[in-house]
Each structure stands twice: as C-alpha cells, then as structure tokens.
A and B are shown apart, each in its own frame.
Chain A
C-alpha cells in the first residue's frame, strides 16, 4: 500500500527541484494540447521564447509587461502572508490609477518633481482604501474577504466605466468615450529605454523584503498569518494588523495602477489593468510569497504573455493559450507542493511494516 507521512526535512534545493519538475510537467502537458491542435510543440515554445526575448525591443516589451505584475504581486504577497485572500488587486489597481489620473488631469502644469510623487501618493491612498474596506469588515465581523474583494473589482470597473463615459470624458475627442491624455509632466520619464517604473519595482522589492524580515510590523504579519490567536496572546492588535497590512497591500496595487497609467498608457481607461490583478495572484503564489523571487517569476510570466502574442501571429494560436499555460503551470505546482510537505513511500503490506 501507499504510505504518506508528513516531512519537515525538505531542503530548499529539493523543493526548488520539485517545483521545477512540476513546471516541466506542465509544459509537457500543454505540449500534448499543442500537438492536438496540429502544431509542433518545440517550434511553438521556441517561437514563444523568440517572441519574448528575440530582439532588444521584445526584451523591453517583456520587461515592461513584468513591471505591473511585480508591483501587484508584492502587494498580494503581503495579504496572502496574512492568509487574507485578497483577490481584489484588479480593482485596487483601477482605483489607484484613478487617483493618479485625478491629480494628472487637475494639475497638468505642475512640475514633474511635484506632480509624479503626488500621483503616486494619491494612487496608494485610493488603492489602499479600496483594500482596507473589506479588511475592516473582515477584522470586525470576519466577513468573507475573498468574495468581498472580488465584488469590489466589479464595482471599480463599473465606476471607471462611468467616469470614462461620463464626467471624465474628453470633450476634445468628438464624443468618443476616452479620458484625456496626460500632460508630459504627468508621464514617468524613460530610463535606459524603459519607463522609470522598473526602478520603482526594484526599490519596492527591496523595501518589502526588508519590511517582512527585519521590522516588527513585518514580523507581526507573519505571526498573525500563522495564527490569529497566537498574535492575540502575544499582545498584538490583530484587527489593526489586518487593516493596515491590507491597506499596504491595496496601496501597492494602487501604485501599480499609477505606474501603468503614467508610464504606459498616459491616460486612464477601463482596460488599464490588462488582467494583471489576476495574473499576479498566480505569480505571488508561485514565488512562495517571497519578495526576492517575485521579479524572476513575473518576468517569466510576462515572457509567456509577450510570447503568447507572438505565437498568435506566427501560428494563429489564440493569445489565450498563454492563460491556459499559466493556469496549467500553477495546477502542477500546487499539486507538487504535496510532495514537498509529505513523503510518499510504497510498502508491501502493513504487517511487514509492523514486524520491522
């Protein structure tokens, strides 16, 4: 029979190997799918890599797509550490972008050095509040945060639609429903060919890493995430920990919205997130919620998205194939975690085991 027992001795190397194996298995599984569609999986994967990293321009595009994922994943990882299932990143990104846009549209002549930090602050506050509302009710009455945060995504989406088609509609666009473009002062400058969001992302990775591992506040998150009761007995204000952590989580997602609005779109539209809020859930989980790992996983996922657009042109395989690939990878990694936590051994029969 099969015997399973808990294990605690799984080294970092071993668990990395198990995860890597899972990713390879996922790629193999999707290969079969590609073959059914009548394509050669090697050439499809090959051109995905080429599409993502083949030229300097494509590398820049891949990195550009990884920035929102990194920032949003950092935010989500804070919430998930607390076992607060924040799937509201999508809405928090939108509200953050809205806050930044509000500043950009109202103070277009302000110098960049003042305007950009102001937009950043507004985005953090708007995204943070959007996250803190469900957090408040979760802390007060244990209201289910998963569905609450998700519903907030739809409310944010409808709100942006309202703004875009109503009060914020560009009068110069001849009735076309779009929000006016930003003045140059409200646009993030380019640094080495890529908007400065990449610098913000790297700085945030370092800050979040230090915050989690080297500050008291960060430590409290780990404790309360492990067990709320432990936190309470240790004299922590559990409710406050939940609310401010999720404010930070939503604030980071909000900042992600500001970076996208200012650095990439130079305006606000309902499609601002490009689904980053959902993809970032996968990437932060795959990074085991560890800030230093997040950039690597996000670049990998951005490469899949970028490569996905490329194979659409080359093979007429729909772009959503990338989404299926991402989902499959996470399925396999989730499944593989079992082998990190448990040892599976085959034994002949129970009696033989007892006689040893």
Chain B
C-alpha cells in the first residue's frame, strides 16, 4: 500500500465526516434523524444543479446546505412540534429525499462540474504542515472542503464540550424534562440543532456530487448516509472521534477498487460488501460492551411533551 491510498481515504471519508457530525449534533439534542441519506441526496442534487447554472462554488455549497436544512426542517416540524415517531419520520425523509433527488436530477446524467469549480476545490498544500513527511502528504495536501471538515469536527467538539450552550444542548438530549425545568428553551434547541444537522448533511451530499465524483450520478450516496448514522455510534457521540471514524471508513470505501491491482482472488462484489459488513460488526461490538462513557444521549428518540409529565 502506498501513501496515495491514505490520501484517497481522507478524500473518501470527508463526506462521511460532514454527515456523521450533522447526525451527531442532531442526536445530542435528543432527536434521532434517520433521514441523513435523504438530506444528503437533496444537497447533492441542489448543489450540482446550482453549480451548473451559476458556476459559483459558494452558491452551490449554500444551495446544497439549504436543501439539507429544508429536509431537516420537515423532520423538525414533524417530530418536535407534532411529536411524530422519529424513526418513521426519518425513514420518510430518506424516501422523500431519494425521490426529490432523482426527480431534480432527471436529465443531469452525464453532466460534469464546470472546470472553474474543479479548480476551486482542487488540492493545495498547507505551508509547513504540508511538508511533514507522510502525515503532511496524507492530511495537508487536500482540497478546501477537506480542511473545512477538520475544522468542523474540532469546532463541534469545542462547542459541545466547552461552551455553556453546548452544555445546555447536552442536557436537552440527556434529560429533556430537567432541561426544560431549568429554563432551557427545549424546542428551540432541538430545532436549531436539527437544522445544523441538515446543513452539514447537505454539505456532505454536495461534496459527493461536486468534488468526489464530480459529475451527476443517480443515487450518488449509495448508503453512505446510513453508514454515517451507524458511525455516530462507533464514534460514541464524540466529535473528535469522528475524524478517526470517517477516515477509517473512507479507506474501507475505496479498498475494493484499490485491491484489484494486487491480483487478489476475491470477487470485486464481495470486497464491496466490506464497509457494510464492518459497520454491522462494529454495531454488534459496541452493543456487546456497553460502557457509560459511550452511551447515547438518554432521551434520544423520545418525543418530549411538557403537558404529559
């Protein structure tokens, strides 16, 4: 294995990174949004269409993030205001988002991202850090959005663990009733963090369609949204661990393609199963040794209704 494999793993892990962070922040507020895949697809198609129409990378990213947030908003209204079942609402969002993206993506097949935008997202070396042997090549010779990903994870960590708003957020997810009694505006916290989650998932989708592929492909996410939901568990709801989880799975994502060079006598399709199988194994292992440090927010997935206490 050469270094280029690890560089590529970071690239393949970046969409996962944004999606995991988005879901993690949503879950910190006690809301389990299974619509990640749907929001990513909405972001992917809107970002790609905006890129074709305007050629402006900022507008494309903003459009994608807003599309993700729009999906998240639907989820928020249903689960926070109307107390609908979160699992079903999230699943519906995924079905809706899949339909939305193939609807909007009709006729985009074969279109390619404009050259000017490819330049904008192209790799550049960070001075000093990029000169570190091996590590510099893997992590600091990347595109603008990969760096954004590092920052997003660190900022999310600082926000959740080092600010009072983050403390409030955690208390909403852990014990909603107590947070409410302490005067925290529970519904507002839930809405805001559901929306932040949507923004990040939209960005994750845009990364796939604008940078990773970068042309239009139907169902471009191929289950990455679901893997992201599983990796939140793997990362034990800790934003810093997301960096490791995302890049590890980025590596698994591309290993099937890379391994062909080595005349490996296993079918390509069997190796393609790897990310999914490893996700399953991780789920089992995490559940088998449940520790208090790595447990989900206590109120995760429960509707909160003040009048019912």
Contacts and interface: CB of A to CB of B under 8 A. Distances in A.
Interface stretch (A112-120, A136-144, A221-229): A136-144
Contacts of B103: 318, 320-321, 323-324
Contacts of B284: 137, 141, 143
A4 interface: yes
A327 B95 contact: yes
Given A278-B95, A282-B95, A326-B99, A158 B269 contact: yes
A302 to B, nearest CB: 16
A324 B42 CA distance: 12
B263 interface: no
Contact of A158 (B106, B227, B230, B272): B272
A337 B95 contact: no
Contacts of A281: 88, 91, 95
Contacts of A278: 95
B95 A326 contact: yes
Given A155-B277, A158-B272, A327-B99, A335 B84 contact: yes
Contact of B273 (A5, A150, A154, A334): A154
A49 interface: no
B102 interface: yes
Given A334-B82, A335-B77, A154 B223 contact: yes
Nearest to B77: A335
Interface residues on A, range: 35 or more
B85 interface: yes
A263 B137 CA distance: 56
Contacts of A291: none
B230 to A, nearest CB: 4
Contacts of B97: 327
B291 interface: no
B60 to A, nearest CB: 21
Contacts of A147: 226, 229-230, 233, 279, 283
Interface in A108-130: none
Interface of A: 4-6, 85, 87, 137, 141-144, 146-148, 150-152, 154-155, 158-159, 161-162, 165-166, 278-279, 281-282, 285, 318, 320-324, 326-328, 330-331, 334-335, 337-338, 341-342
Given A154-B276, A162-B270, A330-B95, 14 more contacts: A85-B87, A147-B229, A150-B223, A150-B226, A151-B230, A151-B279, A282-B95, A318-B102, A320-B102, A331-B78, A331-B96, A334-B85, A334-B88, A338-B82
